[in-house]
């Protein structure tokens, strides 16, 4: 005979993309109060041991069906929340069918299966990159215009439309999240910026965009805290709710540039404005001889600026970020200087030959 579902007072939370940086950190916090199921690809890396690992292929109907049969058998029909972090992401900027197959169609497949469960909340991890850029001093609200400029944010916009049309009666919380970082870095743009200045690369002194423009970020711990708040307060929400998550202040490029330089070299960093066509040509040439972070397509985005209005997060989630990028940079740099090789590996960067020895 089949064994009945687990009888427990703890509610069930499902986290997709559970082996990633956000998923792992979130699961370890959730496990203190909930039963957690981590959905992820077959094989390494795995979700933390605080969650049951249910392997899936989000592009496969049969794989997803079997996964949720397992969840129903083990935990029953009630799910307090599904936190959907799984998505395709590629910083090369190249078009890929995986944006459609994984992010858009994968979400549709997940929502379809969830219609047969009693789901109290579905949290989607969208991105602030869906918004049309603004100007310094003008903050972006949840009602600001949407204007994705490349495939990754476009896939988020397309998926938000799927949520609207296919969620059924499941309440959806759509979190538009700023760039995530941690005390160790874990942000591709920030880590690469630090690398360029640390190694005194030529590109660290050149910039094709507006010096006073920038993008907001959010510390990993603050993001996890916001998701926990959203789950705790889920009974307050119905239908669809969109909330911006990020730090209310945006460091400009030049502020970030000089702060990193001061921390690493204790001096002002000479920085020169260059034409965009020169930057594109340089990025193209570098691409011939290696795999540089800066790609030609990124040059057109260097004038973009974003500042977030987080008043809705304050009001509805009672949430305020406790960290700021400017005050966390010293810890990031300290981690680099105390163990350079580990820092480079942690941020998936090629260490210079002097560090490898």
Give the Å distances, CA to CA, from 255 to 124, 302, 304. Answer: 32, 15, 15
Which residues have a Cβ under 8 Å from the Cβ of 99 and sit 6 or more positions away? 88, 151, 152, 154, 155
> Are both 267 and 241 inside the same structural domain?
no
> Are both 156 and 256 inside the same structural domain?
no
pLDDT score for 353: 85
Flag whether 72 is in a domain.
yes
Residue 209 is encoded by which pair of tokens?
A: 């965009």
> Are both 31 and 168 inside the same structural domain?
yes
Flag whether 312 is in a domain.
no
> Are both 235 and 269 inside the same structural domain?
no
> Are both 106 and 128 inside the same structural domain?
yes
Q: What are phi and psi of 256, to 5 degrees?
A: -65, -40
> Are both 227 and 295 inside the same structural domain?
no
pLDDT score for 149: 93
> Are both 131 and 223 inside the same structural domain?
yes
CB 224 within 8 A of CB 23: no
As for how many domains the chain has, the answer is 2
CB 312 within 8 A of CB 174: no
pLDDT score for 129: 97
> Are both 99 and 230 inside the same structural domain?
yes
pLDDT tens sequence across 200-232: 999 999 999 999 999 999 999 999 999 999 999
Flag whether 262 is in a domain.
yes
pLDDT score for 291: 52
Domain that holds residue 275: 188-215+250-304+325-349
pLDDT score for 46: 81
pLDDT score for 281: 73
pTM: 0.93
What gap in Å lies between CA 336 and CA 185, rounded to an integer? Answer: 9
Among candidate residues 332, 179, 163, 295, the one with its CA nearest the CA of residue 246: 179
> Are both 35 and 168 inside the same structural domain?
yes
Those residues of the chain that have pLDDT short of 50 are 1-2, 284-285, 288-290
pLDDT tens sequence across 31-49: 999 999 999 998 888 889 9
Give the Å distances, CA to CA, from 33 to 13, 14, 51. Answer: 10, 13, 12
> Are both 235 and 198 inside the same structural domain?
no
> Are both 88 and 103 inside the same structural domain?
yes
Which residues have a Cβ under 8 Å from the Cβ of 248 and sit 6 or more positions away? 139, 216, 307, 308, 309, 310, 321
């Amino acid at each position: 005979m089949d064994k009945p579902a687990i009888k427990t007072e703890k509610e069930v939370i499902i986290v997709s993309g559970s082996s990633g940086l956000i998923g792992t950190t979130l699961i370890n916090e959730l496990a203190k109060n909930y039963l957690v199921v981590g959905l992820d690809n077959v094989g390494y890396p795995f979700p933390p041991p605080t969650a049951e690992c249910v392997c899936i292929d989000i592009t496969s109907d049969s794989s997803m069906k079997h996964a949720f049969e397992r969840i129903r058998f083990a935990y029953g029909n009630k799910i307090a929340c599904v936190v959907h972090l799984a998505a395709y992401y590629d910083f090369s900027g190249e078009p890929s069918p995986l944006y459609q197959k994984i992010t858009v169609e994968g979400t549709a497949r997940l929502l379809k299966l969830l219609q047969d469960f009693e789901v109290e909340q579905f949290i989607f991890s969208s991105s602030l990159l869906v918004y049309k850029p603004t100007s310094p001093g003008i903050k972006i609200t949840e009602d600001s215009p949407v204007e994705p400029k490349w495939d990754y944010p476009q896939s988020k916009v397309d998926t938000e439309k799927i949520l609207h049309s296919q969620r059924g009666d499941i309440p959806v919380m759509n979190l538009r999240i700023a760039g995530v970082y941690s005390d160790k870095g874990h942000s591709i743009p920030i880590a690469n910026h630090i690398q360029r200045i640390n190694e005194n690369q030529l590109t660290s002194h050149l910039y094709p965009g507006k010096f006073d423009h920038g993008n907001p970020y959010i510390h990993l711990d603050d993001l996890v805290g916001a998701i926990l708040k959203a789950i705790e307060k889920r009974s307050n929400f119905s239908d669809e709710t969109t909330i911006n998550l990020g730090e209310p202040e945006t460091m400009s490029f030049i502020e970030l540039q000089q702060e990193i330089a001061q921390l690493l070299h204790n001096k002002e960093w000479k920085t020169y404005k260059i034409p965009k066509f020169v930057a594109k040509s340089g990025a193209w040439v570098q691409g011939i001889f290696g795999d540089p972070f800066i790609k030609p397509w990124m040059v057109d985005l260097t004038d973009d600026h974003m500042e977030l209005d987080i008043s809705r997060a304050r009001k509805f989630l009672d949430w305020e970020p406790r960290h700021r990028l400017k005050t966390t940079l010293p810890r990031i740099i300290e981690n680099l200087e105390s163990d350079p090789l580990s820092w480079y590996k942690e941020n998936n960067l090629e260490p210079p030959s002097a560090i490898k020895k």
